[in-house]
Chains A and B, each alone.
Chain A
Amino acid sequence: MNSTCSLCDSRAVILIREEQIYLCEQHLESRILDYVRAVLEMLASQERSVKIAVAASGGKDSTVCLYVLYLLKEEYSLDLMAIAVDEGIEGFRNVKLKKLVELSQSLDLDINIVSFKEFFGATLDDMVKLSLRKGFMYKPCTICGVLRRYLLNKVARELKVDYLATGHNFDDEAQSILMNILKNSMDKLTRGGPITTIKHEKFVPRLKPLYYCTEKEIATYAHIRHFNIPLVDCPYLFFNERRVLRRWLNRIELLNPGTKRRLILLRDKLSSNINRPSRSMNLCIRCGEPSSQDICKTCQILEYLGVA
């Protein structure tokens, strides 16, 4: 027996457990579009077209992010493009990027691909080997995350985009809150939300169009839209702390639906009660890119690895 949509008589493709409602393909798409609209409504500049680059990895989240923004392109006068970073993870990123390029071409969207090898002189695979030899002070996800953000910001700025959109979703936000609690990072804990508040001429503001969408809603949508996201895992997944936390949080959410939402609400309450000075951003004395320290994390990692 099939479940039917709570809003029409069509066959349901998802159960929204927290709300105890079933949605069909069409109503799931409407829900996702409405969530993304809610974020786009927050953009200050509505007088001219907004130039957005999606940081696309070829995974389900950034692919859905790119596609949904494409659907809303006319409605919000978006000047849309994609930026992809090829970190050089053999058998993983090359497979994902191939599909992403196909999608971008089918939507007639520009995609800019930059690689670690080209920019830093070494692939992530090379850097992980170097880190292992030197004592593994920097884990693969740290190297990848820091260097990816560095390149994305630099390329987005050079392309003069107004916002760099990422595929971060509702689940990611809840996980980040827990991670920051575990790291005793009050500063990061009380930041978040769908648009970054950091203001610096060299820092491209970040936008999270899928902020209100759960991972399951996104994955289900990617499936019904036949994006055929390659089901390959990053070989460095084992070292990812977030993965462990994500699984744990999902178990709690299953037992107690709404846990993730309550975490986000708690963070929002905390943030509104804290009188915080605006985050200072300097320029790295070596590379001139935005950094909260004298020497940015990218330069620190490259120096440790002996790259560049």
Chain B
Amino acid sequence: MKVPREIVAEELLISLGCNPIEYIITRNGNIITEKDILRDGDILILYPVVSGGRVRA
């Protein structure tokens, strides 16, 4: 998906239909919070907090 050069992680999650309460976000292997700013080239993995969620990379 196309996103701006800089975006707050929370905005990205919501645009993907993911509730930030229900996901842990890692950027290049490190956990970040949903208020962190993402940049072009960041590699993200979303880990579901609740069962039944799906890992998204």
Contacts and interface: CB of A to CB of B under 8 A. Distances in A.
Interface of A: 1-3, 11-15, 17, 22, 59, 215-216, 219-220, 223-224, 231, 233-234, 237, 243, 246-247, 250-251, 253-254
B48 A216 contact: no
Nearest to B21: A250
Contacts of B30: 11
Nearest to A231: B55
A2 B24 contact: no
Interface residues of B, number: 20
Interface in B13-57: 19-22, 24, 30-37, 47-52, 55
Interface of B: 19-22, 24, 30-37, 47-52, 55
Contact of A15 (B34, B49, B51, B55): B34
Contacts of B50: 215, 243, 246-247, 250
5 contacts: A1-B37, A13-B32, A231-B47, A234-B51, A251-B19
Nearest to A237: B52
Given A250-B19, A250-B22, A254-B19, A14 B49 contact: no
Contacts of B34: 15
Contacts of A234: 51
A253 B33 contact: no
A42 B14 CA distance: 40
Given A224-B31, A254-B19, A254-B21, A216 B49 contact: yes
Contact of B32 (A3, A215, A216): A3
A31 to B, nearest CB: 15
A2 B36 contact: yes
B21 A216 contact: yes
A215 B49 contact: yes
B33 A14 contact: yes
